[in-house]
Structure 1
Amino acid sequence: MNIMEDGPSLIWGVVCILLLISSLAARRLPLGYIAKAGLAWVAIFAALFAIFSFRFEFLGVWERVKADIAGTGGQTISGEAIELRRQDDGHYWLQANINGKPVRFMIDSGATITAVNANTASETGIEVDANGYPIILNTANGRVAAKRGVARSLSIGPHNIQNHQVVVSDSFGDVNVLGMNFLDSMASWKVEANMMVLQP
């Protein structure tokens, strides 16, 4: 807090409190009532002064809460780069749009191809090759059968990837994973000090 800049505001607040107390005293109210009223107004002015002084910090907290609710916590777009902060579960999460609809993905460099659960594929209009032979994938939960599909549009902010190849299965649970075929579509990507930076 800068005392020189906030000094006039502090003085003005003290003057207002003194005027209020003087007004109450002029009405010949009991001394105890005047003291309680004065303390109440001091507390109100102090709270307002604190809110004003820390308004930028409060705004930052609010922006963080909004980002967490929207699923974009830890995700920023700086120029052309997409920056992701490692989350408490140790993973990097990315909010993307599949065919214009928001989907939260975990980024996994150990996965060969982007994996989408059946519900997400249906909700976002991913084109699934229902007639093709299923492929067998080795996952953390064992071997699962999946079908190939195509996301016509996968976008993050202004960045758009067209005809992104995916696999779809009921066995993926609620998690959607961006694999190496997504990372390979980037011009570059790196991880430094708990930050992943994607450069489309």
Structure 2
Amino acid sequence: MSNIEIGNLVYLLLLGAVLLSWAFVQNRRNLGRLAQQAIAWGLIFLGTIAAIGLWDDIRGTVQPSLATVTEGNRVEVPRARDGHYYLTLEVNGTPVRFMIDTGASQVVLTRRDAERVGIAPGDLAYSGRANTANGTVRTAPVVLDDIALGPIRDRGVPAAVNEGEMDESLLGMSYLQRWGRIEIGGGALVLTR
């Protein structure tokens, strides 16, 4: 946990303590009703925390990747609500969700995704550097044995594992340049071989 997260947690605990103290003072004559209200609010709080914790799973289920492979060599990727394009590819047999980033020179995996596809981030040599919007981060070069998008399969794709924190793996040019044409228009990104 970072110092900012610890500070936020302490702030929330103090705020909760103040609110509970105020509720107790205001309702000290009706402690039974106060206990019922406290339980109800506690359940609402726990439900909210559970929904936040499961949000990525819920989002993936409700709004799965809608990429369509047509004619065997053409992929259409609709623009997501946040304005980005996302694809789920199988990397070494494991589905990984990527944000398409034409500004990234290579495929960049989060540490979590690297572990999922069989790469041990702790054993890597973080000898590379990448300049990001959040500053410079260290990266470790890797080669992805197998990447599949539907029936389209590529082998030996250069990539990097990011040592820093990333929300999403990036599908950069080391993979995208394998396509003959990349077009953006009409609310979709189209990859053609």
Instruction: Output the TM-score relative to the length of structure 1.
Output: 0.61
* AA partner of residue 74 (structure 1): L
Count of aligned pairs: 135
The reply to whether residue 144 of structure 1 matches residue 137 of structure 2 is yes
Partner of 2:67: 75
Residue 123 (structure 1) shift: 1.2
Residue 150 (structure 1) shift: 1.2
| Superposition pairs of residues 21-36 of structure 1, within 5 angstroms | none
Q: Tell whether the 8 Å contact from 2:85 to 2:99 is kept in structure 1 after alignment.
A: yes
| Superposition pairs of residues 1-200 of structure 1, within 5 angstroms | 69=61, 72-79=64-71, 80-126=73-119, 130=123, 132=125, 134-200=127-193
Partner of 2:29: none
Report the CA distance shift for 1:186/1:129 in structure 2 as closer, same or farther (over 3 A): farther
Please give the alpha-carbon distance, in whole angstroms, between the structure 1 residues aligned to 2:190 and 2:136.
31
* AA partner of residue 139 (structure 2): A
Report the CA distance shift for 1:137/1:107 in structure 2 as closer, same or farther (over 3 A): same
Gaps of 5+ in 2: 1-58
Residue 127 (structure 1) shift: 7.4
Alignment partner of 2:61: what SS?
A: helix
Please tell me the root mean square deviation across aligned C-alpha atoms, in Å.
Answer: 2.4
Please give the alpha-carbon distance, in whole angstroms, between the structure 1 residues aligned to 2:170 and 2:141.
14
CA distances 1:117-166 after superposition (whole Å, capped 9, x unpaired):
11111111147794646111001211100100111001000001101111
Please give the alpha-carbon distance, in whole angstroms, between the structure 1 residues aligned to 2:124 and 2:94.
25
Q: Tell whether the 8 Å contact from 2:85 to 2:100 is kept in structure 1 after alignment.
A: yes
Find the structure with the greater CA-based Rg: 1
Instruction: Output the TM-score relative to the length of structure 2.
Output: 0.63
Gaps of 5+ in 1: 1-66
Report the CA distance shift for 1:133/1:168 in structure 2 as closer, same or farther (over 3 A): closer
CA distances 1:69-103 after superposition (whole Å, capped 9, x unpaired):
18643311111211000000110000100001100
Partner of 1:18: none
